[in-house]
Amino acid sequence: GSSSTSARLDVELVKSLITRVTELVGVGQPDIRYASSLAAFSMSRAILTKIVHLNTKLQIATRQSANAKGERLTSLKAQVTSLKRVISELEEVVTGPVFSVVFMHRYRDSNEHIRSLCLESLAQSMILNPSIFLQDAYLKYFGWLLHDSSAIVRIAAIDGLNLPFEIVENSQQAEEAKVDLTLMQNVTSKFLKRIADCTIDVSPSVQPHAMNLLLSFLKEGFLDDFDEEALLDQIN
């Protein structure tokens, strides 16, 4: 009872804080926009980390309730219900105020550092909560910003697409990463030409990042079924 009440209070406090911060992300001064966006994304990351922790507790409570009886079963069922509700509300804070308000308005910001920050935050969110963010609906932003006028934003877009591959490669076992790379296939095929063009980008700083991403595609077999000769020659 008391733990679920405190969890509910936490959710309300988090919502209130994020609402305050999001009021500042549209102001005229770029440094304040950057700082408030950074604050919102940092809170979002903390929430996503909390969700991971709560999901673990939920799995344990669900497993225990399968074998419980009487008062113990009633208590565990209440705990499961409470955890599900808090997780759902916290996820809504991230997909609502943080993504719909901060990301959606700032990924097109006039300041390149703010655009880059948006992509870096989205990439981290994908890894922390793949079930929500490792989806085409979010991956498309990396693809779109491969065309950005700023080299640092193009690098952030390429590195964001490469992060799931790096996480899987650096995990001791693939299941440890909880990242399903097959979810990257649509965005890969859709933006492959643009990624290949980045290997001969006007900015030399972009080129090695594009090469690394293409190497990730190669290692995971993403280029196996690709039969566009001219593009494969360029990649080679």
Tokens standing for residue 82: 């409470």
Buried-state track 202-233, b at ≥16 Cβ within 10 A, e below 16: eeeebbebbeebbebbeebebbeeeeeeeeee
142-187 pLDDT tens trace? 999 999 999 999 999 999 999 999 999 887 654 555 789 999 999 9
pLDDT of residue 28: 84
> Residue 236 has what pLDDT?
66
List, for the chain, all residue ranges whose pLDDT scores fall below the cut of 50: 1, 174
Which pLDDT score is estimated for 20? Answer: 84
Residue 224's pLDDT is 78
pLDDT at residue 119 in the model: 97
Whether 119 contacts 156, CB under 8 Å: yes
C-alpha 89/C-alpha 119 separation (Å) is 24
Q: What is the pLDDT of residue 184?
A: 94
Q: pTM to 2 decimals?
A: 0.87
Q: What pLDDT shows up at residue 21?
A: 85
